[in-house]
Structure 1
Amino acid sequence: MPDKSKTIAVICGGLSPEADVSRLSANRITPCLEEHYGRVVHLELDQTLPEQLIAQQVDVAFPVAHGPYGEDGRLQGLLDIMGVPYVGSGALASACSLDKVITKRLLQSAGIPMAKDRVVYHNECPDEAALDCVEQLGPKVIIKPSGQGSGIGVQFAMGYEDLKGKLKTGLQMDEKLLVEEFVTGKEITAGVLHLDDYQVLPVTEITTPDGAWYDYVHRYTPGLSDHVIPARISDEQYRRVQEIALKAHQILGCHDISRSDFIVPESGEPVFAELNNLPGMTPTSLFPDGARHAGISFEALICKLVDQALKRGETLRNGRDYWPIPKLDIRPS
């Protein structure tokens, strides 16, 4: 149950390209927190964060700092070292989840269906890499930065010349790019709420009024996307999406929440695209919508997540059984 004696720090902003979006999430969750907990402070993800966490005597952190620094394990590692419990996945799961290449390699080994891909690195010749990609993946491909969220930096290419130019552009911004074959189908997502047990939320279909790809602008501009719940896919595809979303959450070691994205063709297996380990909480975000259709209000969702983090922190403070460690004789000889 919510505790009026607790101080909650909402951590947002920072150096990520998604800093403004993270502030939208922060502004949306704050009223819920203020109603149920003692004090709520907004802290910027910058060099003053450690001293602010101490000065504000924070009991639990609610990170909504999306993208690099806030979602890639760096913030989570800092909070772990400082002993501040927080909402969401730990450092390792966060680092693996934000890196699309690592996510794919871990999940491919578990047999999860994926689009064929080729990773292009900064030190490669774009001309040769483009030719190799076309030969391996076909003429139409999608190019993704390995460590960004919200569709930032994603490009589509058709044919060798187009791909070569876009690889050159992308490699000026990122050390490695994930190039995937273009898969046609519906854009589908499913969230996992992981508290004392796992709950896979209703599957959502994402549509855009102009038929455009679900890019950064369509994600965060009210009216430029619609969430169709339940998704209009076959019963078998629906079941598989939920099954894979849960499996991905578990394999990557996520806590509390995650949201997996898919492309689902007209028939056949859903194709896993990526996992978001710290889903947004803005007015247009998908995870809260899925929770609402599962009967969990936005306010209840936020409180459940904070209470889970508080419980996790209490367990750590009280200590827990661990593997027995042999005693060492370290006296000077």
Structure 2
Amino acid sequence: MSVPRSPRVVVLAGGLSHERDVSLRSGRRVAEALRSAGVEVSVHDVDADLVPALSDLRPDLVWPLLHGASGEDGSVRDVVQLLGLRLLGTGPRASRVAWSKPIAKTVVARAGLSTPEFVTLPQSLFRELGAGRVLDAVVARLGLPLVVKPSRGGSALGVNLVTAADDLPRAMVDCFAYSDTALIERAVTGTEVAVSVVDTGDGPVALPAVEIVTEGPYDYDARYNPGRVEYFTPARLSADAASAVGEVAVAAHRALGLERLSRTDLIVGDDGTPWFLEVNVAPGMTETSLLPQAAEGAGHNLGDLYRSLVLASLA
């Protein structure tokens, strides 16, 4: 198949998840960058008009920049492929695996990567067994501090660090507001980094790690409102540690069957161990997001990089 001189790309942004506003911002930023590189782009929301719009437009490529359930769980990607259109990024099956944090952690652990010990507990179990005794068993097994997070979801919504056993029930309630299943993992102390991976045709390559420093939690407000977080690109790691986190991100990308781009969140422990936390198949692309920061830190022009991802997907 010949690659169009000016490929026509539809960016999907919006949707109905809790991360709708972030997705819209990501979509706008990517569309602006692609246009600056000579790519014909339109941005569409995910609503009742999407299927007829895609059927009429027949774009060369569809780039899902949807954060949250339908955008990252594979369902919208399935619909795009049902219409006979090409996707930029990970396909529906691998997206489902990566979208589930417990499954993704299990897959990368089998591939030899380190990930904090965890348990996964559905809300229904607490009604059947009684919350108190179950949570006592969690603390006895995993210890403190703990991190409680929805088993599926992004942007740190419903995520809490628990340092005292008395705070665990409240953290569970907050988590269940975003998902019916909670992942509870042993908290790891160290340097928090995000490593983005891109594949422009020659295989997945890690961009420089971005170090995240914040007073208080790295929550939704901190992520998308400038001023609460300090970023260091590249991360202030030793050469060996920087190389190791890049290798972990690429290994996770490969083990999970991801395509074109991803972002892996890690903690570099006090002993230098890179701990895999989770991976994103639709990383944020806003002005404060980590993949664009890493790309610019590596000397990439965003428009040129995104165009290269488009052309590689078409080739």
Q: TM-score range by the shorter chain?
A: over 0.9
Q: Show CA shifts across 1:52-86 (max 9, x none).
A: 10122322112111111011111111111111112
TM-score when normalising by structure 1: 0.87
Structure 2 match to 1:170: 175
Structure 2 match to 1:321: none
Instruction: Name the CA distance, whole Å, in 2 between partners of 1:226 and 1:159.
Output: 27
**Where do 5+ consecutive residues of structure 1 fail to align?**
312-333
Structure 2 match to 1:149: 154
* Bigger Rg over Cα: 1
**Where do 5+ consecutive residues of structure 2 fail to align?**
none
Deviation at residue 35 of structure 1 after TM alignment: 3.9
Structure 1 match to 2:138: 133
Structure 2 match to 1:254: 258
1:278 corresponds, among 282, 289, 295, to 282
Q: Is residue 194–residue 209 contact of structure 2 (8 Å, CA) maintained in 1?
A: yes
Structural RMSD (CA): 1.8
The 5 A counterparts of 1:280-295 are 280-295=284-299
Instruction: Name the CA distance, whole Å, in 1 between partners of 2:29 and 2:216.
Output: 27
Q: Is residue 2–residue 36 contact of structure 1 (8 Å, CA) maintained in 2?
A: no
Deviation at residue 3 of structure 1 after TM alignment: 4.6
| 1:300 and 2:301 matched | no
Q: Is residue 120–residue 129 contact of structure 1 (8 Å, CA) maintained in 2?
A: no
Structure 2 match to 1:100: 101
Q: Is residue 8–residue 61 contact of structure 1 (8 Å, CA) maintained in 2?
A: yes
What is the one-letter code of the residue matched to 2:205? Answer: Q
Q: Is residue 3–residue 37 contact of structure 1 (8 Å, CA) maintained in 2?
A: no
The 5 A counterparts of 1:97-246 are 97-125=98-126, 126-197=131-202, 198-208=204-214, 211-246=215-250
Q: Is residue 39–residue 307 contact of structure 2 (8 Å, CA) maintained in 1?
A: no
Instruction: Name the CA distance, whole Å, in 1 between partners of 2:314 and 2:162.
Output: 46
Q: Which sits farther off after the overlay, 176-185 or 263-272?
A: 263-272
From the superposition, tell whether residues 13 and 52 of structure 1 become closer, same or farther in structure 2 (CA, over 3 Å).
same
What is the one-letter code of the residue matched to 2:65? Answer: V
Structure 1 match to 2:76: 75
What is the one-letter code of the residue matched to 1:178? Answer: L
Q: Show CA shifts across 1:77-97 (max 9, x none).
A: 111111111211111121111
Q: Is residue 2–residue 303 contact of structure 1 (8 Å, CA) maintained in 2?
A: no
What is the one-letter code of the residue matched to 2:111? Answer: A
Q: Which sits farther off after the overlay, 198-207 or 170-179?
A: 170-179
What is the one-letter code of the residue matched to 2:307? Answer: C
| 1:7 and 2:8 matched | yes
Instruction: Name the CA distance, whole Å, in 2 between partners of 1:35 and 1:242.
Output: 29
Deviation at residue 48 of structure 1 after TM alignment: 2.3
Instruction: Name the CA distance, whole Å, in 1 between partners of 2:39 and 2:241.
Output: 44
What is the one-letter code of the residue matched to 2:258? Answer: C
Instruction: Name the CA distance, whole Å, in 1 between partners of 2:308 and 2:137.
Output: 48
Q: Show CA shifts across 1:173-219 (max 9, x none).
A: 422100011211111111111122221111221122xx222211111
Q: Which sits farther off after the overlay, 71-80 or 233-242?
A: 233-242
> Secondary structure of the residue that 2:27 maps to in structure 1?
helix
Q: Is residue 96–residue 103 contact of structure 1 (8 Å, CA) maintained in 2?
A: yes
Report the identity percentage.
33
The 5 A counterparts of 1:45-56 are 45-56=46-57
Deviation at residue 161 of structure 1 after TM alignment: 2.6
TM-score when normalising by structure 2: 0.92
| 1:42 and 2:43 matched | yes
> Secondary structure of the residue that 2:125 maps to in structure 1?
coil
Higher RCO (CA < 8 A, seq sep 6+)? 2
> Secondary structure of the residue that 1:222 maps to in structure 2?
coil
> Secondary structure of the residue that 1:14 maps to in structure 2?
coil
What is the one-letter code of the residue matched to 1:203? Answer: A
Instruction: Name the CA distance, whole Å, in 2 between partners of 1:225 and 1:169.
Output: 23
Structure 2 match to 1:328: none
Instruction: Name the CA distance, whole Å, in 2 between partners of 1:101 and 1:246.
Output: 19
From the superposition, tell whether residues 25 and 165 of structure 1 become closer, same or farther in structure 2 (CA, over 3 Å).
closer
Instruction: Name the CA distance, whole Å, in 2 between partners of 1:152 and 1:69.
Output: 16
Instruction: Name the CA distance, whole Å, in 2 between partners of 1:36 and 1:6.
Output: 11
What is the one-letter code of the residue matched to 1:231? Answer: A
Instruction: Name the CA distance, whole Å, in 1 between partners of 2:3 and 2:284.
Output: 22
